[in-house]
Amino acid sequence: MIISTPPVETADGHVAEMYADDLSDDGFVFAYTRAMAVNPEAHAAFLALIRAIVPSIGVRVYEAATLGAARAIGSPHCLLAHGRKALRADVLDGDGLAAFAQGDDGGFTPAEQAVIRYAAKLSTDPRAMTDADARELREAGYDDRQIVDITLAAAARNCFSRALLALTVPTEKVPGLDLDVAAALRALAR
């Protein structure tokens, strides 16, 4: 990573909060946190966007959209971080996450699988999307607000993931992830 990031020792304000969260959870500051700390106002705005999205769709659907987008983009940072979040939030169990890493979305409900497909298409070919894509979400039971928030969740993941990839931010070992599952998630990013 070519950019210089704020040192942990002199961090203050939102940057100090970002670093403290990583340190308290994992004992170190992730490289992606350090990269985003270069512009703490943008990071705070990103978090505000996520906080505005999640209430209407819930954590399970948010993680389905996030993981679907991250897998389609090939983002190791977001696959690893949100794979762990999915485990911690009981969205997926270890077997479900391992299956997801192999391309099997069976750990998600059929409605959540529709979200994964939608997020993947948004992430790989958004110009090809039609009303039929959103109609699949409606037929899966999502209302207008939820369809917009699913779209925003996937689009937000595209923004964050692509920024990390463009900045060549390295990935670290993610505590709490089975090594084989982590390797499979990393392999999706190749």
Distance CA 177, CA 173 (A): 8
Look at residue 19 and tell me if it is in a domain: no
For residue 67, the tally of other CB atoms under 10 A from its CB is 32
Look at residue 86 and tell me if it is in a domain: yes
**pLDDT digit string, tens, across residues 113-167:** 999 999 999 999 999 999 999 999 999 999 999 999 999 999 999 999 999 999 9
Distance CA 183, CA 45 (A): 31
How many domains would you assign to the chain? 1
**Single-letter residue type at 172:** E
Distance CA 100, CA 94 (A): 10
Please say whether the beta carbons of 53 and 78 come within 8 A.
no
pLDDT at 190: 67
**pLDDT digit string, tens, across residues 91-119:** 988 889 888 888 899 999 999 999 999 99
Q: Which domain holds residue 161?
A: 57-188
Distance CA 105, CA 5 (A): 37
Look at residue 130 and tell me if it is in a domain: yes
pLDDT at 25: 86
- Global pTM value: 0.91
Look at residue 40 and tell me if it is in a domain: no
Q: Is the pLDDT of residue 180 over 90?
A: no
For residue 123, the tally of other CB atoms under 10 A from its CB is 23
What CATH number is given to the structural domain containing 182?
1.20.1290.10
CA 31 to mean position of chain CA atoms? 15
CA nearest to 174, candidates 96, 72, 36, 79: 79
- Alpha helices (H) in the chain, listed in sequence order: 13-26, 31-36, 40-73, 76-88, 94-101, 110-124, 131-139, 144-166, 179-188
**pLDDT digit string, tens, across residues 5-56:** 999 999 999 999 999 998 988 888 999 999 999 999 999 999 999 999 999 9
